């Protein structure tokens, strides 16, 4: 449900840009990459990424500008890098995700957070 509400938001990109120092174009690319774009993820048709709990929480913290965690900034860096690898360099999702994860491992931070809870 949260992903659907993000898709309707119009002020989140500017808020996240102001709260993080990433420029508006970068945040727009990241938002489109996470919430709108459809890719070959191995199914029969291109699809959007499945909603992910920690990513939703990160997006909300980034919008609010309160209690932003290191993992939230890593999310932005990971998604921007992944998008670059896929769109600019033409990699498939699996390879791009793996390389982006080697540089900016958001999943590891999310998993560690789960272990602490």
pLDDT tens by residue, 40-87: 999 999 999 999 999 999 999 999 999 999 999 999 999 999 999 999
Per-chain mean pLDDT for the chain: 96
The whole-number pLDDT of residue 116 equals 80
The whole-number pLDDT of residue 115 equals 86
pTM: 0.94
> Bridge partners of 39?
47
- Percent of the chain residues topping a pLDDT of 90: 95
Taking the chain, what is the end-to-end CA distance rounded to the nearest angstrom?
23
Interior/surface letters 84-102, b for 16+ CB within 10 angstroms, e for the rest: bbbeeeebeeeebbebbee
Place of tokens 């890593």: 74
């Amino acid at each position: 449900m949260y992903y659907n509400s993000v898709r309707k938001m119009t002020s989140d990109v500017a808020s996240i840009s102001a709260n993080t120092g990433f420029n508006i174009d970068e945040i727009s690319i990241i938002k489109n990459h996470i919430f709108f774009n459809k890719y070959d993820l191995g199914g029969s048709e291109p699809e959007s990424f499945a909603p992910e709990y920690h990513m939703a929480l990160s997006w909300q913290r980034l919008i609010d500008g309160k209690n932003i965690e290191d993992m939230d900034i890593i999310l932005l860096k990971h998604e921007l890098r992944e998008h670059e690898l896929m769109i600019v360099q033409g990699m498939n999702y699996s390879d791009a995700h793996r390389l982006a994860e080697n540089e900016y491992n958001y999943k590891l931070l999310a998993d560690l957070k789960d272990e602490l809870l």
